[in-house]
Chains A and B, each alone.
Chain A
């Protein structure tokens, strides 16, 4: 009987002890996805993440729009991190069209990018808090996020989806008096997030719950191709802001946090340390930024690429390396656009991490992977 099965199919043995749980897509502990978990008592024997519930065909849509009208829909995969999602696309289009960006625009982009990283991580942290049953840690980041959202609103006019980066610079110059306001808000924000340590990161129950769970070794982290905070929590110092500096990151002092443990606790602490680092970068950028000058190179209407050409650019987003491959065939719209996102790569580690863990560790390990389902599906 088994011999007659077509290739790729196999009869699965059903064990009476094993219970299969569908965690998601309608479950408070999953994002817009499903995790099929098989448990034996309280232990997870197998785990099969099943993304794809929010696939929107961003890449295909990009083939029907020109380089400028692609901007608003390409930031939809992660609307909390919209500047960083757009960043590689904008860098790539600039290289395709051969545009040199003004110095001030580069600094504005760095500030926007770091602000957006903090906004994203705060949202992530809020959900991490509620996944562990810590409702205060849900409300505090969700509230303090507003400080930076207000700043981004001042810059771009929109609270969440900014569409602020354009090929050739940024859409608008900074509002007057922005430097002072930004410095004040960021300083207060830094003071606030340092208070989180007392209630969350130094909490003995949190430490005992997340330490030594879902340990990802340095070798496995590299082998599975994880990026961002997951990679840096496993002891690999790999940050594109340092390794492949884009825009003005080489002029700024970036010290990405690295931890050796590779467990859920380290993975949850790295983004928090990232936010503290972002605050420092924002202060440096505000100091070094040229006080006046152009922020945008005017482009011709409907810009075209120069013949058959392709470009691959990547940046460090809130969830790790985010790449954008654009192939141009000399028309007004890209021939092919491919987003390579950190979320999807980090998700690959989930079955390895959850195997043998207890069911109670599932939310903390899952969300510590710094995973955003919508981005993984594109």
Chain B
């Protein structure tokens, strides 16, 4: 007996939704509502500012800005908000999604084609959402011989490592998830996780092409970590600190790329290799080893790895901005807020509208410096990301032996040249800890 999928009908769809709603209301009113009333009867309500918090008062909090804004302000200063939303995961994921869209459209323009066009009416702006939905709805197929717990864990670990990297990036003065004094060392430690996760995923798949891809990724990442670390030593020497926020703050007059261009170039090239971008995308070389270490990943596991890859791309671009391009420093282009509106209110004829909690929010949390710093940071990061994406349209892939000789001979030599430049600058007294003297 064959099974035929039922035809989709809009009327049936609406009917099913109405059915669900009716059942939900029925169950809620018969069981849920009495339960809530019983809970409210037995639990004493808190007293805030001398007022008993009744459910009615809780609803007024949502509509009254003088009560809502302090809550928002308190929420924005919590670690939860930093991790989930602004300098952390949400902000980075938004930029990463933008990066994917820009990459596809830019590459399409370069190659004389249109790129994503239909999804979302305007230039295919919803294509990424469509791709994400497709990946979620796909079946996850695990190879029979795979080492299943590790194979499952690897994509999650990859995203976790990328998110840990994002957490170390200072976006605006004071806006960083983890402001550690050993920030740059922590960055090196997080970067060291990626090859481990990659080889775990590749090896646990128990398949030939992922294995070769994983070995290639291991070679590439490990051999390029050395020039990566060496190229950043120059910045540490002239600033005298490992704290990323302090490094960014020290470039208020000049970005370090002016004095250490060699280090910046070496870091940029090693960055491309660490990110597995063309021309260094050997671990995913599709004409040689199918998709490299991603071959056996399917469905949302592949989607997670892609998310991690683009988070990593954002984090590396942001690290380049913080270390060499001055982070949030830049001309103040955001106009000052009209604070008298917040303190004195807006005169609307006979009525003066005044919002109570706005003034502390604007002067303490969302300040002019924060908005301007974020804007500068995003502009610089987008510029760096553009230059990371560009080689994909211009260069073919290079070979593993050429890659290794480039990493071990040329880039390490250039990194040492950079260190000597930094030494000379420090000993000549041109530069010292804290910027230009």
Seen from chain A, the residues whose Cβ lies within 8 Å of a Cβ on chain B are: 19, 21, 27-29, 42, 129-140, 143, 199-200, 203, 205-206, 208-209, 358-363
The interface-forming segment of B93-101, B193-201, B282-290, B330-338 is B282-290
A300 to B113, CA, bound (A): 49
State which of A129, A135, A139, A360 has its C-beta within 8 Å of the C-beta of B285. A360
B278 touching A358, Cβ below 8 Å = no
Q: Name 24 A/B residue pairs within 8 A (Cβ), A-sorted.
A: A27-B290, A28-B290, A29-B286, A29-B288, A130-B287, A132-B396, A133-B279, A133-B286, A133-B287, A134-B397, A135-B393, A136-B394, A139-B112, A139-B113, A140-B111, A203-B395, A206-B396, A208-B398, A209-B396, A358-B400, A360-B288, A360-B399, A361-B399, A363-B288
- Report the minimal beta-carbon distance from B115 to chain A, rounded to whole angstroms: 11
A208 to B99, CA, bound (A): 31
A137 to B111, CA, bound (A): 8
Instruction: Please name the residue on chain B nearest to A127 by beta carbon.
Output: B287
B287 touching A29, Cβ below 8 Å = yes
Residues of B within 8 A of A29 (CB): 286-288, 290
- Report the minimal beta-carbon distance from B287 to chain A, rounded to whole angstroms: 4
A360 touching B400, Cβ below 8 Å = yes
A199 to B390, CA, bound (A): 13
Residues of B within 8 A of A209 (CB): 396-399, 402
A203 to B391, CA, bound (A): 12
- Residues of B in contact (CB 8 Å), total 29
Does B392 count as interface, using CB distance less than 8 angstroms? yes
Does B212 count as interface, using CB distance less than 8 angstroms? yes
Contact with A along B388-431 (1 / 0, CB 8 A): 00001111111111100000000000000000000000000000
Contact with A along B261-292 (1 / 0, CB 8 A): 00000000000000000110110011111100
A358 touching B399, Cβ below 8 Å = yes
- Given A143-B112, A205-B279, A359-B212, decide whether A131 and B287 contact each other with a Cβ distance below 8 A: yes
A42 touching B400, Cβ below 8 Å = yes
Instruction: Please name the residue on chain B nearest to A362 by beta carbon.
Output: B288
Does B180 count as interface, using CB distance less than 8 angstroms? no
A206 to B113, CA, bound (A): 23
A199 touching B394, Cβ below 8 Å = yes
State which of A28, A140, A208, A358 has its C-beta within 8 Å of the C-beta of B287. A28
A129 to B286, CA, bound (A): 12
A56 to B32, CA, bound (A): 69
Does B22 count as interface, using CB distance less than 8 angstroms? no
Instruction: Please name the residue on chain A nearest to B393 by beta carbon.
Output: A136
- Report the minimal beta-carbon distance from B73 to chain A, rounded to whole angstroms: 48
Residues of A within 8 A of B67 (CB): none
B111 touching A28, Cβ below 8 Å = no
Does B110 count as interface, using CB distance less than 8 angstroms? yes
- Report the minimal beta-carbon distance from A93 to chain B, rounded to whole angstroms: 40
